[in-house]
Amino acid sequence: MFELAQPFWLAMVLPVLLWGGFAWRRAEGESPAWVLNHPGLPAGGDARPGLSRRGPPMALTLLAFALLVLALAQPREVGDWITPPPEGRDIALLVDTSRTMSIRDFQIGTREVERLEVLKATLARFIEGRAGDRFGVMAFGSSVATLTPPTLDHKLAIAQLQRLQVGMAGDDTALGDALGMALKQVRSRRLRPAIILVSDGADSNAGDVTPVEAVAVARRMGVAIHTVQIGSDPYAAGRAAQQPDPDAQPGLADMARLTNGRHYFVRSTQDAGRVIRDIGALEKTLVRPARYRQVREWYWLPLLLAVGCLFAAHLLRLRQTA
């Protein structure tokens, strides 16, 4: 769709036409009332030599000024609406890399794969589908390692996610320390931040910060913790189940419940995809209305034509005076 951004400039066309009419009458008035024909010249010469000589340059000049007025009116082509990117939130991905994440209790086709391999592929798809969110990637085992703080560079976040390896942060589970590190890095914007904690449900047996302390901080900050328990048996690697402890820390389900998050079990690749879609529906992005449209300016075309007309008029005057 074509439009004029400054249509009021078209009012200048009237003065330009008046000036053109005045100049044309003036050229006619400069023509002699009679012409003396020389016997050696053919009869019927031009009775208005002034007008015939000045007519084309004058017409080109008049056209040039009209084109300049059109350029000032700023003709442009208006296209589709430009949809702004959605406004997201900070999401910290806390991934358990302890030794139990190497258990091969998942299948892709006929191939048995590790829990961590399934997890990396699923989280990568989640990041790709979340425009506007800032993602941080952290690995935890006996200690906590921040591979990248929350960033809008999704390619970087996915690349760091692919670097995760079993045992890279130790063989135990410092769950409280991991939550404390994530809470330090997420920031509240218009939308509340969230933490996606992925573990196999093994006991938290390492670290300086207890899970109950980390959960208390998350509640005060208003950060939702979504917990994903991957695999059905945390002791499938041969670890002996521990006896009940009266001072036991909250489990993954309790952490989610206390922070208004969700707890999920992932026992297959289909479960993993369903869980990520559900979390995406819970933590929606903020879609802003489109306010601007694609615009292609065309003012340069009448401006270029006006310059060409003025140049041609100048050349004609030079030829007539030569």
Answer whether 0.85 is exceeded by the pTM: no
- Asked whether residue 155 carries a pLDDT value surpassing 90, the answer given is yes
Q: Are 79 and 294 in contact (CB under 8 A)?
A: yes
pLDDT at residue 246 in the model:
43
> How much of the chain, in percent, has pLDDT values that exceed 90?
29
What average pLDDT does this structure show over 161-182? 86
In three-state secondary structure terms, 280 is: helix
- Asked whether residue 196 carries a pLDDT value surpassing 90, the answer given is yes
User: Which pLDDT band, with edges at 50, 70 and 90, does 39 fall under?
Assistant: low
Q: What share of the chain is helix, strand, coil (3-state, %, to 5)?
A: 45, 20, 35
Helix or strand holding residue 287 (H, E): none
Per the model's pLDDT, the better-predicted residue between 205 and 25 turns out to be 25
Q: Are 158 and 93 in contact (CB under 8 A)?
A: no
Greatest mean pLDDT among 37-46, 247-256, 291-300 lies in: 291-300
Cα–chain-centroid distance for residue 320?
A: 60
Give me the residue spans of the domains in the chain.
Answer: 2-34+47-81+292-321, 90-235+247-282
Distance, in Å, from the CA atom of 157 to the CA atom of 173, rounded to the nearest integer, reads 23
Distance, in Å, from the CA atom of 89 to the CA atom of 131, rounded to the nearest integer, reads 10
State the amino acid at position 49 in one-letter form.
Answer: P
CA distances from 20 to 13, 25, 61, 73 (A): 10, 9, 9, 20
- Asked whether residue 234 carries a pLDDT value surpassing 60, the answer given is no
Distance, in Å, from the CA atom of 322 to the CA atom of 319, rounded to the nearest integer, reads 5
- Asked whether residue 194 carries a pLDDT value surpassing 80, the answer given is yes
Residue with tokens 């074509």: 2
pLDDT at residue 249 in the model:
58
pLDDT at residue 245 in the model:
45
Long-range contacts of 108-114 (CB under 8 A, 24+ apart): 108/269, 114/166
Of 19-23, 96-100, 307-311, where does mean pLDDT reach its minimum? Answer: 19-23
> How much of the chain, in percent, has pLDDT values that exceed 70?
82
User: Which pLDDT band, with edges at 50, 70 and 90, does 247 fall under?
Assistant: very low
Rg of the chain (C-alpha set) = 38
The four Cα atoms 242, 244, 246, 249 give a dihedral, to 10 degrees, of 60
What average pLDDT does this structure show over 6-22? 83
Residues in contact with 265: Cβ distance below 8 Å, sequence separation at least 6, in sequence order: 229, 232, 271
User: Which pLDDT band, with edges at 50, 70 and 90, does 285 fall under?
Assistant: confident
Cα–chain-centroid distance for residue 33?
A: 74
Distance, in Å, from the CA atom of 232 to the CA atom of 50, rounded to the nearest integer, reads 102
Q: Are 132 and 88 in contact (CB under 8 A)?
A: yes
Q: Are 13 and 66 in contact (CB under 8 A)?
A: yes
pLDDT at residue 319 in the model:
82
Residues in contact with 17: Cβ distance below 8 Å, sequence separation at least 6, in sequence order: 62
- Asked whether residue 147 carries a pLDDT value surpassing 90, the answer given is yes
What average pLDDT does this structure show over 159-182? 87
User: Which pLDDT band, with edges at 50, 70 and 90, does 176 fall under?
Assistant: confident
Mean pLDDT value across the chain: 81
What average pLDDT does this structure show over 178-187? 91
User: Which two structure tokens, joined as six digits, stand for 299?
Assistant: 């003012």
- CATH class held by domain 90-235+247-282: alpha beta
Alpha helices, DSSP H only, in 140-251?
154-162, 175-185, 211-221
pLDDT at residue 59 in the model:
83
pLDDT tens profile 98-116 = 888 888 878 777 788 888 8
